[in-house]
Amino acid sequence: MKGLEYLQAELDEMKENGVFRTLVPLDTEQGSKVKIEGKTVIQLSSNNYLGLTSHPRLRDAAMEAIRSYGVGTGSVRTIAGTFKMHAELERKLAEFKHTEAALVFQSGFTTNQGVLSAILTEKDVVISDELNHASIIDGIRLTKAARRVYTHVDMESLEAALKETQSYRKRLIVTDGVFSMDGNIAPLPAIVELAEKYDALVMVDDAHASGVLGKNGRGTVNHFGLDGRVHIQVGTLSKAIGVLGGYVAGPQALIDYLIHKGRPFLFSTSHPPAVTMANMAAIDVLISEPELIEKLWENARFFKEGLLSLGFDIGESKTPITPVFVGEDKAAYELSDRLLEYGVFAQGIVFPTVAKGKARVRTIVTAEHTKEELEEALSAFERAGKQLNLIK
């Protein structure tokens, strides 16, 4: 259709530069192996850390919810779309996170947008790590608050920002708990200390730490023993939890305020019963099957050591997210394509998701991977890495 030629021109340029991608449809359910275009490959690109997307208890909970309550809710939460189960999930999350209250949003993305846009005004300032997730960046774009960006995990840079923003009503420091493209953990104890020294608020996005770090996967705050010292904990129900949604956990006043002012919460239909009941079952699984998290970490350690001993650069990763740095965008796609040929699905991550020159293939092992699958994946990395001169 006429009118969109300007978009096509840009797409053509992307094709010329070898960075145009098509979506990769899976022919099977999510798991340690998946079928792509008829070929079974080892899955190293999902956020399904604990394999909960197909856990029998979650499946059963979802089926039962559909049978008893149907497939949709027919309204936003604040009009007619709050079912008892929504409140029950929120109670469960608050208890799990050791906070007064919690509120579920449609996704982790909209949670960050909703929280940041609601609680700050032009009288306030938000101070954000430079590598924070896109949903935090977009949330900040939606606020009228002033902004400061500090150098990634650099506490001197954060303190400098705190020193020069003392005239604002409120200062909110916001950070990913685990950085999604690098797998490093935010230095939360130092951040909290600075926040307490300068009387600032702290918000942590635990999308990649929920179900991964802390006792039973309670997240980075619990991991560092900082329960009660971080004002706002955001997380997702779409990664280790295995379903869909986002949540914010914190003081009752925060949650009550968001019920009135959190725009994605107010203006978007509530989660279907199957999603809500499966999310609840997932929290129960975190409590009753801690061996899943142990297996996840055992696999992560094994795979990281394997990549390191092959000579790959995996940066500062301290979690199951393990990037394999290759430099240029094209090299990331070449490695990813070659790996797929050898039976491993590991996506290349390029600009603008990561900085120019920092392209990588990002891997995430899960609790479901067997040792044999991980060994097979390491062999594929060795073969592809040598062919592309990434390792010797």
In this complex, which beta carbon is closest to ligand PMP, that of residue 300 or of residue 374? Answer: 300
The residue from 117, 128, 180, 336 that is catalytic is: 180
Smallest gap from residue 133 Cβ to ligand PMP (A): 3
Bridge pairing between strands 171-176 and 232-236: unpaired
Smallest gap from residue 208 Cβ to ligand PMP (A): 6
The residue from 55, 86, 208, 369 that is catalytic is: 208
In this complex, which beta carbon is closest to ligand PMP, that of residue 181 or of residue 380? Answer: 181
Smallest gap from residue 246 Cβ to ligand PMP (A): 5
In this complex, which beta carbon is closest to ligand PMP, that of residue 180 or of residue 222? Answer: 180
Respond yes or no: is residue 180 known to be catalytic.
Answer: yes
Respond yes or no: is residue 208 known to be catalytic.
Answer: yes
Report the distance separating Cα 374 and Cα 300, nearest Å: 10
Respond yes or no: is residue 261 known to be catalytic.
Answer: no
Smallest gap from residue 195 Cβ to ligand PMP (A): 19
Q: By beta-carbon distance, which residue lies closest to ligand PMP?
A: 108
In this complex, which beta carbon is closest to ligand PMP, that of residue 133 or of residue 271? Answer: 133
In this complex, which beta carbon is closest to ligand PMP, that of residue 135 or of residue 279? Answer: 135
Binding site for ligand PMP (CB under 6 A): 107-109, 112, 133, 135, 176, 180, 205, 207-208, 236, 238, 246
Smallest gap from residue 378 Cβ to ligand PMP (A): 25
Are the beta carbons of 111 and 234 closer than 8 angstroms?
yes
Catalytic residue annotation: 180, 208, 239
